[in-house]
Chains A and B, each alone.
Chain A
Amino acid sequence: DAGVIQSPRHEVTEMGQEVTLRCKPISGHNSLFWYRQTMMRGLELLIYFNNNVPIDDSGMPEDRFSAKMPNASFSTLKIQPSEPRDSAVYFCASSPAPGPNEKLFFGSGTQLSVL
């Protein structure tokens, strides 16, 4: 299995631009999670899908952030407009069970730099 695949690995953009991060979970996994990692705040859960349905989006910072999961094999996290404080590593993770209490399988992350 190829594991969780995220793209791009690095993204550099200018303030105000739209950014789209992509994730392909492991085939057969029911749950998908988007996390953000910064030095100041550590790992934060942004949103969690189960069977393609958003279950908990309380971690989404503000309306500039949106996430979709149109099918079981693809999810996007969009930031529009982007701001320098959005600079972070964004991780996607999937799990074979509903929720995070089994094993989370993480992608390699997208390093986002907003100038």
Chain B
Amino acid sequence: AQTVTQSQPEMSVQEAETVTLSCTYDTSESDYYLFWYKQPPSRQMILVIRQEAYKQQNATENRFSVNFQKAAKSFSLKISDSQLGDAAMYFCAYGDNYGQNFVFGPGTRLSVLP
């Protein structure tokens, strides 16, 4: 079964600085999808960024970008110019190409310090 590992239970960053959250996954598939979801204190999960494994170009969404290393099975999230509103739990997730296996990692709690 696919697994998703987030080795950093907690991270902190100074406002306006850059932080990188780590994610590794295990799969034998060649085509799949990777995601970062944000869960703020309001509890509602929000998609931050999505990557299709067959695309070599790293996905970006404004201040959020990923470093996708397919061979290393690594999918880290970089948040630039961190803002107080970025404080949340961040979950890395994997989905296989068939939509059959979709797994969330354990999450990283990000604090943003003023």
Contacts and interface: CB of A to CB of B under 8 A. Distances in A.
A42 B39 CA distance: 12
A51 B45 CA distance: 23
A113 interface: no
A7 interface: no
Nearest to B32: A101
Interface in A9-51: 42-43, 45
A26 to B, nearest CB: 13
B35 to A, nearest CB: 8
Binding site secondary structure of chain B: loop
Contacts, number: 39
Contacts of B104: 42-43
Interface string B42-69: 1111110010000000000000000000
Category for how many chain B residues contact A: 20 to 34
A57 to B, nearest CB: 13
B91 A100 contact: no
A106 B91 CA distance: 14
A100 B102 contact: yes
Contacts of A42: 104-107
A42 B98 CA distance: 23
Interface stretch (A64-72, A73-81, A91-99): A91-99
A45 to B, nearest CB: 6
Interface of A: 42-43, 45, 56, 89, 91, 93, 98-101, 103-104, 106-109
5 contacts: A42-B107, A91-B45, A99-B95, A103-B47, A109-B43
